[in-house]
């Protein structure tokens, strides 16, 4: 039996770190107020469920990556790589959603017309809000996370090379994606659920 937190807290199974509703305050602080109310509601709903999923993946990835040499593996290696891939995909969705929201706000739109916001627009808008000086390396971490996410594309299967699974390693993929989330959580850090594991600074 694997325990997401500590075994003594619930010996009959697992306990969660937070639930989706606990992320509403942080999201309300980070989604611009001048967007259409229904747009804000939908974005908050989508992102808070993704963020709770990030906590679950982190709770499985870290003990596997940080175990001592004499400790048994927490995950089958292919599961480990797939969880990292899923963490990167969900991180992409979070930054895309928040980046698009901030681009809309900065551009004087409320999002109600359903316009599509491309990467070239939402990415600088996101960095302007969360890492304007570049001190946290957000833009580079996003680039590395996007490169992992884009490995999923199978639209040209005849031209696709094999996926380089080494590119989905802890250091190459998880650490940059985790850095992206940590940087976002600096804004309104006091509103992040107390027990969340997403603020762990990785070196």
Residues of the chain with pLDDT under 70: 1-17, 152-163, 202-203
- The reported pTM is 0.87
Which pLDDT belongs to residue 150?
Answer: 77
What does the pLDDT read at residue 167?
74
Structure-block tokens of residue 146: 């996007």
Closest to 199 in 3D by CA, of 175, 187, 181: 181
- d(Cα 85, Cα 106) in Å, to the nearest integer? 31
Residue with tokens 């990556």: 65
SS3 180: helix
Question: Which pLDDT belongs to residue 74?
Answer: 76
The pLDDT, as a whole number, for residue 8 is: 55
Looking at residue 162, its pLDDT comes to 67
Instruction: Quote the pLDDT of residue 1.
Output: 41
Residue 17 has what pLDDT?
66
DSSP class per residue in 43-56: HHHHHHHHHHHHHH
* pLDDT at 166 (0 to 100): 72
* pLDDT on residue 157: 55
CB 101 within 8 A of CB 125: no
Cα dist from 129 to 10, 37, 54, 138, 175, whole Å: 40, 21, 22, 11, 21
What Å distances lie between residue 153 and 61, 93, 123, 146, 163, CA to CA? 24, 15, 20, 12, 10
For residues 70-96, one letter each, b for 16 or more C-beta atoms within 10 angstroms of the residue's C-beta and e for the rest, the string is eeeebbeeeebbebbbebbbbbbbbbb
What Rg value do the Cα atoms of the chain yield, rounded? 18
Q: What is the pLDDT of residue 160?
A: 56
Closest listed residue to residue 16, CA positions, set 51, 41, 45:
51
Are 27 and 48 within 8 A, CB to CB? yes
| Number of Cβ atoms within 10 Å of the Cβ of 122 | 20
């Amino acid at each position: 039996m694997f325990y997401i937190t500590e075994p003594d807290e619930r010996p009959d199974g697992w306990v969660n770190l937070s639930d989706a509703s606990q992320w509403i305050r942080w999201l309300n602080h980070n989604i611009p107020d001048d967007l259409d109310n229904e747009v804000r509601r939908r974005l908050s709903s989508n992102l808070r469920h993704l963020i709770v999923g990030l906590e679950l993946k982190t709770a499985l990835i870290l003990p596997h990556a940080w175990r001592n040499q004499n400790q048994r593996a927490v995950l089958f290696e292919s599961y480990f790589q797939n969880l990292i891939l899923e963490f990167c995909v969900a991180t992409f969705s979070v930054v895309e959603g928040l980046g698009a929201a901030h681009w809309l706000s900065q551009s004087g739109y409320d999002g109600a017309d359903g316009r599509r916001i491309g990467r070239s627009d939402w990415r600088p808008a996101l960095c302007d809000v969360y890492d304007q000086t570049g001190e946290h390396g957000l833009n580079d971490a996003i680039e590395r996370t996007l490169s992992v996410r884009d490995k999923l594309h199978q639209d040209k299967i005849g031209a696709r090379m094999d996926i380089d699974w080494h590119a989905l390693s802890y250091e190459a993929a998880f650490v940059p994606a985790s850095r992206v989330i940590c940087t976002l959580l600096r804004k309104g850090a006091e509103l992040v659920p107390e027990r969340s594991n997403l603020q762990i600074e990785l070196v």
